[in-house]
Amino acid sequence: MKSSPGVLATKPPVEKRGRRISDKVFPYLLIAPTAILILLVMVYPIFRVFYLSFQNYDLTNPFMDGFAGISNFVKLFTDDPLFFSSIGITFKWVLLQVVFQLLLGLIVALILNAKFRGRGVVRAISLVPWAVSGVLITMLWSLMYDQNSGLFNDLLIRMGILKGHIAWLADNRTFFAAIIVAELWRGIPFFAITLLASLQSIPEDIYESSAIDGCGAVRNLIYITLPFLKESIIFATLLRAIWEFNSIDMIFTMTNGGPMDQTTTLPIYMMKTAIIQGNYGYGSAIGVVSFLFLMLFAALYIKISGYGGEDA
């Protein structure tokens, strides 16, 4: 029996409906292994750290293991001067690294963006510090800082700047500056390459119009280059601040947090407490505080900077 011309079309066959359902489910099946892996590798360890932070879990004193409540956090904020000292050292470390890496990285990016012979080779060489592993870098810089056979002492003595050898990583006047310089050498390429990519996306006709109006290099930098680089600068500084906050390899390999815990940052203090001393409960409490601080910092930084906003 034929259907009359104003009647609505019938529902699609069962096979087509089943195919549509499978088309919706299939993408989720594809990402399921990755999602499960993320849950196992990231979510579970975070949950485990939060759990241990409320426990007495000390390998050196197993008879006292058990639920501790918030006693680890109370001790952390009321009876642990090294905790507050490590916070101050961490803040100084991150601030100096991010500020100087950004400024020097911007200078390098502007140089690499200019046209000159051999620019490709220079760009490739500028990536070397970023490509080398952190442990290898610390070994190289430790050799250069060596008191008896180091490169720095030899050069400065030959130039007449120094009269004797200096233990750069042990002297109270130089140890912090020494590790700052070593980390700067490793971190500058990250900003340089990130900002260079953004510089190359700026239309050339803007600079041509600016030249016609009589603007110089300084005005171009302030009114054209930096506004175009705003998003990249915010993103790069946020990432670098988080990475420098969690940086352990450079400081630990060169100074082991010393001398006298004067280079012990919060992550190093957490590692020493949990991994070396075996107090996983108290070390997890330090980790929870660090995690919450980074979450709060990232949220406030993005909010204040307006990253991703329409006026950014």
pLDDT digits (tens, 9 = 90+) for 152-168: 888 888 888 888 888 88
Write the CA distances from 252 to 116, 165, 173, integer angstroms.
40, 23, 19
Mean pLDDT of the chain: 85
25 and 163 co-located in one domain = no
Nearest to 279 by CA among 133, 21, 82: 82
- Tell me which of 298 and 212 has the higher pLDDT: 298
Question: Does residue 57 lie within any of the structural domains?
Answer: no
Q: 176 and 38 in one domain? A: no
| Range(s) of the domain holding residue 204 | 66-305
- Regarding whether 259 and 123 lie in a shared domain, the answer is yes
Question: Does the residue 291 lie in any domain?
Answer: yes
Same domain, 23 and 71: no
Q: Say if residue 271 is in the same domain as residue 210.
A: yes
Residue range 283-297, pLDDT digits in tens: 999 999 999 999 999
Is 311 part of any domain? no
Residues 33 and 119 in one domain: no
Q: Which of 51-65, 70-84, 87-101 has the lowest mean pLDDT?
A: 51-65
* Contact residues for 142 (Cβ-Cβ < 8 A; gap 6+): 169, 253, 254
> Please, which pLDDT band fits residue 260 given cuts at 50, 70 and 90?
confident
For the stretch 265-274, pLDDT in tens is 999 999 999 9
Higher pLDDT, 242 or 122: 242
Kindly state whether residue 187 falls inside one of the protein's structural domains: yes
Q: What is the DSSP string of the chain?
A: -PPPTTSPPPPPPHHHHHHHHHHHHHHHHHHHHHHHHHIIIIIHHHHHHHHHHTEE-BTT-GGG-EE-TTHHHHHHHHS-HHHHHHHHHHHHHHHHHHHHHHHHHHHHHHHHHS--TTHHHHHHHHTHHHHS-HHHHHHHHHHHT-TTT-HHHHHHHHTTS-SS---TTT-TTTHHHHHHHHHHHHHHHHHHHHHHHHHTTS-HHHHHHHHHTT--HHHHIIIIIHHHHHHHHHHHHHHHHHHHHT--HHHHHHHTT-STTTT--HHHHHHIIIIIS-BHHHHHHHHHHHHHHHHHHHHHHHHHHTTTSTT-
Residues 160 and 253 in one domain: yes
The answer on 30 and 75 residing in a single domain is no
In a domain, 2, yes or no: no
CATH code where residue 159 lies: 1.10.3720.10
Residues 171 and 242 in one domain: yes
Q: Are residues 41 and 139 in the same domain?
A: no
Q: What's the number of domains the chain is made of?
A: 2
Q: Is residue 312 part of a domain?
A: no
Residues 25 and 161 in one domain: no
Winning range, highest mean pLDDT, from 2-16, 123-137, 298-312: 123-137
Quote the pTM value: 0.84
The residue that leads in pLDDT, 71 or 60, is: 71
pLDDT in tens, 207-219: 878 878 777 788 8
On whether both 127 and 188 belong to a single domain, the answer is yes
In a domain, 77, yes or no: yes
For residue 1, pLDDT over 70 is answered with no
56 falls within a domain: no
